[in-house]
Amino acid sequence: MQNQLFIHNTLSRKKELFEPINPPFAGMYVCGPTVYGDPHLGHARPAITFDLVFRYLLHLEYKVRYVRNITDVGHLVADLDEGEDKIAVKARVEQVEPMEIAQYYADRYFIFMDALNVKRPSIEPRASGHMIEQIVMVGKILDAGYAYEVNGSVYFDVEKYSKSYDYGKLSGRVLEDLISNTRSLEGQDEKRNAADFALWKKAQPEHIMRWPSPWGDGFPGWHLECSAMSTKYLGEYFDIHGGGMDLLFPHHESEIAQCQAAIGHESVKYWMHNNMITINGQKMGKSLGNFITLDEFFTGKHASLQQAYSPMTIRFFILQAHYRSTVDFSNEALQAAEKGLKKLVAGYETLMKLSPSPMASNPSPPAPLPGGEGSVPGGEGRIAAIQRDCYNAMNDDFNSPMVIASLFEGVRIINTVADKKDTLTAPELELLKNIFDTFLFDILGLKNEKANDQGELLDGLMQLVLSIRQKSRETKDWGTSDQIRDALQKLQIVVKDGKDGTAWDVG
RNA sequence: GGUUUCGUGGCCGAGUGGCUAGGCAGCGGUCUGCAAAACCGUCCACAGCGGUUCGACUCCGCUCGAAACCUCCA
């Protein structure tokens, strides 16, 4: 299987062939959460997007090191006093240690990401644990002459940097516009230029989170941790840097500048950005107050939710859109996703019960291949065509919606065979199972939730109940038969009479 | 105002210079004791106006509309 993976690089705004710097190794850094609130649907998007990338790279047998940070220090609160640290603010309100808050929400984040079947990254470094690296990096930027110190704070000199390099290359911004359009914030007079950003901020006396540095007690600037930690764990030049589109500017733009200034060259080969989740066409975000937490989704306890949605429904909902598109939240869309996923999983369960036919399956013309490359002489089988479509979709910038569409094609065939209107040979059946195992479970990372909450006890009971019902059906005792069916219905168990006996399903 | 992106059928969402997305919902049928499920068929489309082209939903321009970023945010 020849795999030519193309990745949309935000830097070039084009799809580029993925060629790792040091194969078979691949390094990926993704901006993780700021742990000062419960994870919401917006957090799920990048986690799932880059989980898909992680899983696919692993499938392609790259040796991947995936680093996703935990931000537990450093971000400013815009509408409060300058220099306040988000986590410190909340800590004072609740009268607990800042690190206690950070620990609590980091744990919550892990719990919900686990529920979404997001693989744990290789390393999850915390900003607070990398003060030395950050301070060293500030020192390097100062030494290189691209930063200046004022009153115990250190700022990046964007204007000077722009004389040699292109600040704005990632986001497409022009420095003059930045200078003329940046709002004036309190305390900005310390900066030489409005476009400059803090590398190190002096801590005010009341500031709880503070660390000693050559410039006095303070805390690191907004963009520093990612540069310091990606360099530490992935090296001065690595393959993929990911994050949400809202981080493009100024965060990632500034990361580029910091690395260029500190190291002498850029550090990222491919920049990837996932798009936002919207609610009523607006971004779902903490600051807008229109976010729904994952906990609320899983329990259904939110005014906007008509029902609870399972973790896999959320995952499937997100994967049904391409990662660079916005996804609009609605109950209708989630319910459609829930049904679609159920159909897919049910198809897989049916597949496991199918027996092969010794005969060749119905001949169907192979799908035409673009350019004719890779076509199989004598006609490619329709199952192989599904597999090929899945790979092509993944290789085309991780097009998960296309993968899902191909899997549905597989489901159609499975159901037709189960209906005895078609047959599959043993090799075809094997290949189909392999496709589902690989793409549905390994790569898309979906799992059969039903299998988890239904133990052997329930299974045995259902066998018993259905065999009794079957007997009454054989004697045409429809009253008893329907009574059982109706009673089960009330318990959310759906009875499905088929040609080969009766199946059942929860929900 | 600037930067970036987008506008696809009842809903969600792919894709392409000439040919099917897919899911959910609807309609008709097959199957079934009935129902459900499943399968088959079917309806509904590419914001508007120009241009390029033999041909554009797809390329170009304009208009209208939307979003993100420019301030912490995934």
Token output for A76: 């400013």
**A355 and A415 both lie in a single domain:** yes
d(CA A173, CA A167): 8
Token output for A430: 């094997």
Q: In which element (H, E) is residue A465 found?
A: helix A456-474
In a domain, A280, yes or no: no
Token output for A471: 């007997």
Pure H helices in A79-185? 86-94, 98-115, 131-144, 158-164, 175-181
**A371 and A461 both lie in a single domain:** no
Output the distance from A45 CA to B17 C1' rounded to whole Å: 34
**A250 and A141 both lie in a single domain:** yes
In a domain, A285, yes or no: no
pLDDT band per the 50, 70, 90 thresholds, residue A84 = low
Output the distance from A216 CA to B2 C1' rounded to whole Å: 37
Q: Which nucleotide is nearest to A400 (CA to C1')?
A: B14
**Does ipTM exceed 0.85?**
yes
Output the distance from A118 CA to B42 C1' rounded to whole Å: 40
Pure H helices in A331-399? 331-353, 382-395
Select the more confidently predicted residue: A209 or A156. A156
- Residue A119 has what DSSP assignment? P
> Is A158:A193 a contact under the CB 8 Å cutoff?
yes
Select the more confidently predicted residue: A505 or A274. A274
**Lowest mean per-residue pLDDT among A69-83, A195-209, A257-271, A310-324:** A69-83
Q: Which nucleotide is nearest to A33 (CA to C1')?
A: B74
Output the distance from A395 CA to B52 C1' rounded to whole Å: 33
**A82 and A189 both lie in a single domain:** yes
In a domain, A183, yes or no: yes
Token output for A453: 């909450």
In this predicted structure, what is the pLDDT of residue A365? 39
Token output for A220: 């690191």
**A348 and A264 both lie in a single domain:** no
In a domain, A279, yes or no: no
Output the distance from A370 CA to B55 C1' rounded to whole Å: 21
> Percentage of residues in chain A with pLDDT exceeding 90?
43
CATH classification of the domain holding A438: 1.10.730
- Residue with minimal CA–C1' distance to B22 is A405
> Percentage of residues in chain A with pLDDT exceeding 70?
86
In this predicted structure, what is the pLDDT of residue A59? 95
Token output for A304: 């906007």
**A56 and A181 both lie in a single domain:** yes
**A236 and A307 both lie in a single domain:** no
User: Please, which positions of strand B sit below 7 A from a protein CB?
Assistant: 1-5, 11-15, 21-25, 31-40, 66-74
Output the distance from A332 CA to B11 C1' rounded to whole Å: 7
**A111 and A55 both lie in a single domain:** yes
**A57 and A154 both lie in a single domain:** yes
Output the distance from A8 CA to B58 C1' rounded to whole Å: 20
d(CA A314, CA A14): 29
In this predicted structure, what is the pLDDT of residue A507? 63
Q: Which nucleotide is nearest to A168 (CA to C1')?
A: B3
Domain enclosing residue A18, as ranges: 6-274
pLDDT in tens, A364-390: 433 333 333 333 333 458 888 899 889
> Which of A220, A241, A274 is at the close of a domain?
A274
Q: Which nucleotide is nearest to A489 (CA to C1')?
A: B36
pLDDT in tens, A463-473: 888 888 988 88
Number of domains in chain A: 3
In a domain, A134, yes or no: yes
In a domain, A301, yes or no: yes
- Residue A25 has φ and ψ, to the nearest 5°, of -90, 150
Q: Which nucleotide is nearest to A39 (CA to C1')?
A: B74
pLDDT band per the 50, 70, 90 thresholds, residue A499 = low
Q: What average pLDDT is seen over chain A? A: 84
**Lowest mean per-residue pLDDT among A158-167, A284-293, A337-346, A421-430:** A284-293
**A261 and A156 both lie in a single domain:** yes
Q: Which nucleotide is nearest to A285 (CA to C1')?
A: B73
**A266 and A328 both lie in a single domain:** no
> Which of A449, A464, A498 is at the close of a domain?
A449
- Residue with minimal CA–C1' distance to B21 is A405
**A233 and A339 both lie in a single domain:** no
Give me the mean pLDDT over the A470-497 stretch. 84
d(CA A95, CA A74): 19
A345 contact partners, CB below 8 Å, separation of at least 6: A446, A448, A449, A450
Pure H helices in A119-222? 131-144, 158-164, 175-181
Output the distance from A27 CA to B36 C1' rounded to whole Å: 50
Output the distance from A253 CA to B61 C1' rounded to whole Å: 32
The CB-side HSE value for A467 (13 A sphere, CA atoms) comes to 6
- Residue with minimal CA–C1' distance to B71 is A78
Token output for A162: 């722009």
> Which of A218, A246, A274 is at the close of a domain?
A274
In a domain, A186, yes or no: yes
Q: Which nucleotide is nearest to A404 (CA to C1')?
A: B22
- Residue with minimal CA–C1' distance to B66 is A281
Q: In which element (H, E) is residue A271 found?
A: strand A268-274
In this predicted structure, what is the pLDDT of residue A1? 46
Q: What is the 3-state secondary structure (H, E, C) of A301-313?
A: CCCCCCCCCCHHH
Question: Chain-centre distance of CA A426, in angstroms?
Answer: 36
In a domain, A192, yes or no: yes
pLDDT in tens, A22-45: 999 999 999 999 888 889 998 999
- Residue A376 has what DSSP assignment? P
Question: Chain-centre distance of CA A119, in angstroms?
Answer: 10
In this predicted structure, what is the pLDDT of residue A26? 96
Q: Which nucleotide is nearest to A173 (CA to C1')?
A: B3
Output the distance from A274 CA to B67 C1' rounded to whole Å: 14
Q: In which element (H, E) is residue A49 found?
A: helix A41-59
